[in-house]
Amino acid sequence: MSSSRTVSPLVPLAAFAFAVAHVGFEYLNGGVKTHHFLARADLPGFSNWLGLLVLPLLGVVLAVRAKSAQGGQVNGILPPTIAAGTVGSLAYGAALAASFHFGFEQASLILFLGLFLCSIALPVYRAEYIFGFVVGMAITFGSVIPLTFALLFATISFGFRRIAVFILSAVRKPRR
């Protein structure tokens, strides 16, 4: 029997296992990589070791979101809407990372610009979208740089949605 304060450990544990496998593979095959913003060495670099911290923390946030969406029940299974958001954003992030990694510059540009449309059309500020996107891009870019971009687009999404709600409520206000 789990307490009402218990968070399902499956998502954070899976994120930690993924991070350990990723860093372990790099460690055994030439060393753990450091990624720099804009691929410039004069800009800050972030080691993939940080994935051991970032990915499980994002997993905890997602698990808490899943628990609240399930009305406080902890059963280890993500609700369908949260699972769809996670898998969709993971696929989008993986496609963006793969197109960059394999040198498909046009596809990378289209997918990157598509993030603006996604941030308007979808609530990408939710934990499932951020988690999936960061995990999808972690192999190519580490976890910190994708998290930075995910938070940027999450801010755009949140701001756009709040402004839209404000404008719609002002327009729909009954006149006396």
Helix (H) or strand (E) holding 170: helix 144-171
**Is there a domain that residue 164 lies in?**
yes
pLDDT tens column, 21-56: 999 999 999 999 998 887 788 988 899 999 999 999
What's the pLDDT at 51?
94
What's the pLDDT at 161?
94
Q: What is the span of the domain harbouring residue 140?
A: 10-171
> Which residues have a Cβ under 8 Å from the Cβ of 7 and sit 6 or more positions away?
60, 63, 64, 67, 74
Q: Which pLDDT band holds residue 75 (cuts at 50, 70, 90)?
A: low
What's the pLDDT at 20?
97
**Is there a domain that residue 4 lies in?**
no
pTM of the model: 0.88
Q: Once rounded to an integer, what is the mean pLDDT over residues 64-78? A: 77
**Is there a domain that residue 55 lies in?**
yes
Asked whether residue 1 carries a pLDDT value surpassing 50, the answer given is: no
Distances (CA, A) of 95 to 133, 134, 137, 140, 157: 10, 12, 8, 11, 21
Number of domains in the chain: 1
Helix (H) or strand (E) holding 130: helix 127-141
What's the pLDDT at 41?
86
pLDDT tens column, 144-175: 999 999 999 999 999 999 999 999 988 887 66
**Is there a domain that residue 5 lies in?**
no
Asked whether residue 2 carries a pLDDT value surpassing 60, the answer given is: no
**Is there a domain that residue 2 lies in?**
no
**Is there a domain that residue 176 lies in?**
no
Average pLDDT over the chain reads 90
**Is there a domain that residue 155 lies in?**
yes
